[in-house]
Chains A and B, each alone.
Chain A
Amino acid sequence: MASDHVWIVGASMTRFARHDSLDALDLAAEAALAALADAGTAMSDMDILAAGSLFHAGAGLGQQLQKQIGQTGIPVYNVANACATGATALRTVHMSILAGESGLGLAVGVEKTSGMGLLGAAARPVGAKKEFVPAGRDGHVMPTEGILGSQTMPSVFAQAGMAYLHANPQASVEHFYKISEKNHAHSELNPLAQYRKRFSLEEIKAAPMISYPNTSLMCSANTDGAAAVVLCSSARLATLPLAVQKRAVKIAASVLTSDPYVPGGQVLPDVSTCTRNAAAAAYERAGIGPEDLDLVELHDCFATAELLHYDNLMLCEPGGAADFLDSGAPWRDGRLPVNVSGGLQSKGHPIGATGIANVYEVATHLRGEAGDRQIDGARVGLTHVIGLGSSAAVHILQK
């Protein structure tokens, strides 16, 4: 029987950190078992498993995970969708429950990116005989990184932020620094964040430059970690213990989009239209507007990205992201706290886990269980991730 709604009954994340002694399976198992326990369930209760990991999905992470925590023969989906991987895994389970195929399901996301350095930066081959032969869809005869611009992640998102400044002259690079000041300050209260240190604006500006205006303190932190959620149909929820029902969080909307054609979008990746479309669809589906939100976890992979998404998620008036930030609204004591977890810049960005970890964060606030960083009285929250290339996922959660 198709379910009218899907509920989060279990949620967990590992500490995001450099976990040299744990492999991806260890981290995925830790998060999965904790989410199952949080829901008062076991692997034997699950009807579906979706396992998200950009770098491990191709190796059958989900089945490998089952071989550690329970081989029950259920369908497994190995999911990779750039930085939207975790959210896409969650949505895979969500769709199965909405369709009536599953009553209870587990979504887990994991990555180990510590020490990977710059993502999107191919090293120049050395030593081989050099002969110019056209290759690839652009017919390049040599690697073009650094010759025809830059495709590293810090560069791509720096350019996206600068394009926003070009279109909205009231915003300036100072706003990007302020975003990192806020998110690092927020991280002090999150025991699961990789870095928990507040930095002054001056320290943020003076940090090593990666791709102007993004200094190292304005880039998401490579890290290791996993996150997991147990999702449940309305019918199945009614059969679970009252204590589990009381802590259940409703998924009021789950939306995934890709980037529609826009002129130039294949040169300067368009992370805005897909986000805007996902947000509009999610607000409509949930019957909830941005004015109803109590907190937001959005994809601040770089400081230059967060400013755009205030606008794209309609948290401010069109073009008003700078004013929204200047008003103090996205600080944890402001009108609409954004990234109280510390965001990807300080909490860390283990790619496959990110889109589930932000759901864990919001669900934990809605349950009133966020400890020192609790946003008091939070009832409605929104999560957002972007996978470059591009995808946007938006979830609206409601207690």
Chain B
Amino acid sequence: MPAQVPVVDYLVLEPEPRLKAVACSGCGADFLTRRNACASCGGADFADKSLATEGSVVAFTIVHRAAPGVAVPFVSAIVRLDDGPIVPGNLIGVDPTPEDVALGMGVRLTTFVAGTDDNGVEAVAYAFAPRG
């Protein structure tokens, strides 16, 4: 099996794919990207927090016009995970039509290979698919 890296560092591949947040030890606010301090309380102590792998769609758009090299159409979604954090991601396993995507629909985390570099390393991305 080729070497794999996550497409972003808030995606953890092993042992099972999950997203992780950095959570403020002071107020509990969570963020996906590296921090200098907390945007909510100013605290500087953080701990990694493993996030739920299921959630629901709170917003989406179906993208038909994108930059060159970006395949369209695709569904871009904002998902509220069952333990609270809000994360972005594509919605897959649905037709990219308004009839097949609904606000509030339940989704689960999944992964796919988004690309391979010249060294044969695969970048693994996450997406969301309908729950169940």
Contact (Cβ within 8 A) B104 A166: yes
* Distance in Å: Cβ of B89 to nearest Cβ of chain A: 6
Interface residues on A, range: 35 or more
Mask of B72-116 contacts with A, CB within 8 angstroms, 1/0: 101011101000111111100000001000011000000000110
Contact of A142 among B90, B104, B115 (CB under 8 A): B115
Interface residues of B in 17-41 (CB under 8 A from A): 29-34, 39-40
Q: Which residues of B contact A147 (CB under 8 A)?
A: 7, 90, 114, 125
Q: Is the CB of B5 closer than 8 A to any CB of chain A?
A: yes
Q: Is the CB of B47 closer than 8 A to any CB of chain A?
A: no
Q: Is the CB of B69 closer than 8 A to any CB of chain A?
A: yes
Q: Which residues of A contact B74 (CB under 8 A)?
A: 146, 150
Contact (Cβ within 8 A) A159 B70: no
* Distance in Å: Cβ of A298 to nearest Cβ of chain B: 21
* Distance in Å: Cβ of B116 to nearest Cβ of chain A: 8
Asked whether A267 and B61 contact (CB < 8 A) given A134-B9, A155-B76, the answer is: no
* Distance in Å: Cβ of A393 to nearest Cβ of chain B: 22
User: What CA separation (Å) do A355 and B89 show in the bound complex?
Assistant: 33
Contact (Cβ within 8 A) A209 B89: no
Mask of A137-174 contacts with B, CB within 8 angstroms, 1/0: 11111101111111010110011101101100000010
Contact (Cβ within 8 A) B63 A148: no
Q: Which residues of A contact B6 (CB under 8 A)?
A: 139, 141
Q: Is the CB of A122 closer than 8 A to any CB of chain B?
A: yes
Contact (Cβ within 8 A) A211 B62: yes
Contact of B68 among A124, A155, A213 (CB under 8 A): A124
* Distance in Å: Cβ of A222 to nearest Cβ of chain B: 13
Contact (Cβ within 8 A) A209 B67: no
Contact (Cβ within 8 A) B61 A150: yes
Contact (Cβ within 8 A) A150 B63: yes
Q: Which residues of A contact B63 (CB under 8 A)?
A: 146, 150, 152, 155, 211-212
User: Closest B-chain residue to A154, C-beta based?
Assistant: B65
Contact (Cβ within 8 A) B76 A149: yes
User: What CA separation (Å) do A139 and B34 show in the bound complex?
Assistant: 9
Contact (Cβ within 8 A) B78 A159: yes
Contact (Cβ within 8 A) A163 B58: yes
Please report the total number of B residues contacting A with Cβ < 8 Å.
54
Contact (Cβ within 8 A) A264 B76: no
Q: Which residues of B contact A138 (CB under 8 A)?
A: 8-10, 32-34
Contact of A146 among B33, B61, B66, B121 (CB under 8 A): B66
User: Closest B-chain residue to A134, C-beta based?
Assistant: B9
Q: Is the CB of A266 closer than 8 A to any CB of chain B?
A: yes
Interface residues of A in 121-139 (CB under 8 A from B): 121-124, 126, 129-132, 134, 137-139
Secondary structure call for the A interface: loop
* Distance in Å: Cβ of B81 to nearest Cβ of chain A: 10
Contact (Cβ within 8 A) A131 B118: yes
Q: Which residues of B contact A130 (CB under 8 A)?
A: 115, 117-118
User: What CA separation (Å) do A337 and B97 show in the bound complex?
Assistant: 34
Q: Which residues of B contact A209 (CB under 8 A)?
A: 62, 64-65
Q: Is the CB of A118 closer than 8 A to any CB of chain B?
A: yes
Contact (Cβ within 8 A) A159 B61: yes
Contact of A268 among B8, B59, B62 (CB under 8 A): B59
User: What CA separation (Å) do A104 and B40 show in the bound complex?
Assistant: 39
Contact (Cβ within 8 A) A163 B32: no
Q: Which residues of B contact A2 (CB under 8 A)?
A: none
User: Closest B-chain residue to A268, C-beta based?
Assistant: B78
Mask of A252-271 contacts with B, CB within 8 angstroms, 1/0: 00000000010110111000
Q: Is the CB of B71 closer than 8 A to any CB of chain A?
A: yes
* Distance in Å: Cβ of A267 to nearest Cβ of chain B: 5
* Distance in Å: Cβ of A117 to nearest Cβ of chain B: 9
* Distance in Å: Cβ of A14 to nearest Cβ of chain B: 28
* Interface pairs (6), CB distance under 8 Å: A121-B70, A142-B123, A144-B125, A146-B63, A152-B67, A209-B62
Report which A residues bind B (CB closer than 8 A): 118, 121-124, 126, 129-132, 134, 137-142, 144-150, 152, 154-155, 158-160, 162-163, 165-166, 173, 208-214, 261, 263-264, 266-268
Report which B residues bind A (CB closer than 8 A): 5-10, 29-34, 39-40, 58-72, 74, 76-78, 80, 84-90, 98, 103-104, 114-115, 117-119, 121, 123, 125-127
Extra contacts, 4 of them, besides A121-B66, A261-B29 (Cβ < 8 A), are A122-B67, A144-B7, A146-B70, A266-B32
